[in-house]
Amino acid sequence: MKETNDARVKSLLKQALRPVSPELQRDLWPQMLRHIDERSPGKTVPWFDWALLAILVISILAFPHSILVLLYHL
Amino acid sequence: MNTHRYLRAYMAGIVVPTIAVPLGLVAFFIARYGFQISIPIERVVIFPMALVPTFFGLWNMLYARLSTGRYLPLGLHGALLPVVFIPLGMTSAVAGQFLSLGSKGIVWFDAITIPYTLFVPWIAVVIIFYYLIWKYLVGFCNKVLEIM
């Protein structure tokens, strides 16, 4: 009697719950990275990149014609 | 969004040059008609219009492939692109007859001379330009399309 009940409960549970797939439906890593990124304090541009930008601007100002050559490569 | 990763990477890659091409065309028109620099626009635009966006897309697909393991940051990956682009662009320019080697330097569009002494710094500037574009602009597109 008890075994019959167990089998019935098991069958009811199987019907009520969706089958769980062992495989992930989507890649969670990008979401995790974004979450970490959002939590990181002060998303600032590093000084090194500002220095590179300054070099770029100074070069363009010193040789304005070179803009065309730069644009040709973009 | 985990399907068609390489297609998304391609699309994220071509955004920046696709936006830049019309702006570049405007600059070339201004140079030609405003400053009377005799630029053969119809030959010049072939490389920026046909090859650059495609290469950006393919380069970003390569990044999407390689970045699954340990790999360079996106900015440095983009900074490697001029290694391919500069020889390709110069070859295309020579074929289009708007680049020649003068006595003082490389002459672009029969008007702009880059002295030989400044050739290496000029390459460095192009690499910096690409580094910043890839790190910030292509990087932004990659984040939007969840490539990285």
Quick: pLDDT tens for B59-76: 999 998 888 877 788 889
**Does residue B2 surpass a pLDDT of 90?**
no
**A68:B128 CB<8 A:** no
Averaged pLDDT, groups of 10, chain A, 74 residues long: 81 82 74 72 78 90 81 77
Residue B1 has pLDDT above 70, yes or no: no
- The pLDDT, as a whole number, for residue A40 is 61
Q: Residue A27 to residues A2, A33, B27, B46: CA-CA distances in angstroms? A: 43, 11, 43, 39
Question: What's the pLDDT at B27?
Answer: 84
Q: What is the pLDDT of residue B115?
A: 83
Size of interface A-B (CB pairs under 8 A): 72
Domain ranges of chain B: 5-144
SS (H, E, C) chain B: CCCCHHHHHHHHHHHHHHHHHHHHHHHHHHHHHHCCCCCCHHHHCHHHHHHHHHHHHHHHHHHHHHCCCCCCCHHHHHHCHHHHHHHHHHHHHHHCCCEEECCCEEEECCCEEEEHHHHHHHHHHHHHHHHHHHHHHHHHHHHHCCCC
Q: Spell out the domain ranges in chain A.
A: 45-74
Identify the pLDDT of residue B128: 93
ipTM over 0.95: no
**pLDDT higher at B124 or A67:** B124
Beta B99-101 vs B112-115: how paired, if at all? unpaired
Name B101's bridge partners: B106
**pLDDT at residue B71, rounded to an integer:** 78
Longest dimension (CA), chain A: 93
For A54, name the nearest residue in chain B, comparing CA atoms only.
Answer: B128
Residues of chain A found within 8 Å of residue B112, distances taken between Cβ atoms = 65-66, 68-69
Note the pLDDT tens digit of each residue in B13-28.
Answer: 999 989 988 888 888 8
Which residues of chain B does A49 touch, with a Cβ-Cβ cutoff of 8 Å?
132, 135
3-state secondary structure A17-64: CCCCCCCCCCCCHHHHHHHHHHHCCCCCCCHHHHHHHHHHHHHHHHCC
For testing contact with chain A, the best of B43, B146, B147 (most A CBs within 10 A): B146
Q: How much is the pLDDT for A38?
A: 67
* A49, A55 Cβ separation under 8 angstroms: no
Query: pTM score, two decimals?
Result: 0.74
| Cβ atoms < 10 Å from Cβ of B120 | 9
Alpha-carbon distance A42 to nearest alpha carbon in chain B (angstroms): 16
Instruction: Report chain B residues whose CB lies below 8 A from the CB of A26.
Output: 1-2
Alpha-carbon separation of residue B2 from B12, B32, B56, B77 (angstroms): 15, 46, 21, 23
State the pLDDT confidence band at B131, using cuts at 50, 70 and 90.
very high
